[in-house]
Homo-oligomer: A and B are copies of this chain.
Amino acid sequence: MKVTKEVSFKNEKIARYARALSHPVRIFVLDLLSNQACCYSGDLSDELPVAKSTLSQHLKELKAAGLIQGEIEGPKIKYCLVRERWEEVQDMFKEFLRI
């Protein structure tokens, strides 16, 4: 029952990010966004075999994790990576995985 608060805090943070990455649909979205600046939910809907409400939920989770953000653009919504958070994920995994 030791585990300092800092360590457990960090572990919880990594675990939360890992949880955000723990579904193929979310991996797909993040992979796309880390490649191409932004996308529309429709683009994703065309490519992913899930109901649009389901996709919307996954996007909501990614938003909740702070990894993406949506911007209203006409009738559509443009999604982008939150670069700052993405870099944090990169750094945390880099440290955790020692790579």
Contacts and interface: CB of A to CB of B under 8 A. Distances in A.
Nearest to A26: B15
A11 B34 contact: no
Nearest to A16: B22
A57 interface: no
A interface majority secondary structure: helix
Contacts of A93: 93, 97, 99
8 contacts: A1-B47, A1-B48, A2-B47, A11-B28, A14-B21, A18-B21, A19-B19, A89-B97
Interface of A: 1-3, 7-8, 11-12, 14-16, 18-19, 21-24, 26-28, 30-31, 34, 46-49, 89-90, 93-94, 96-99
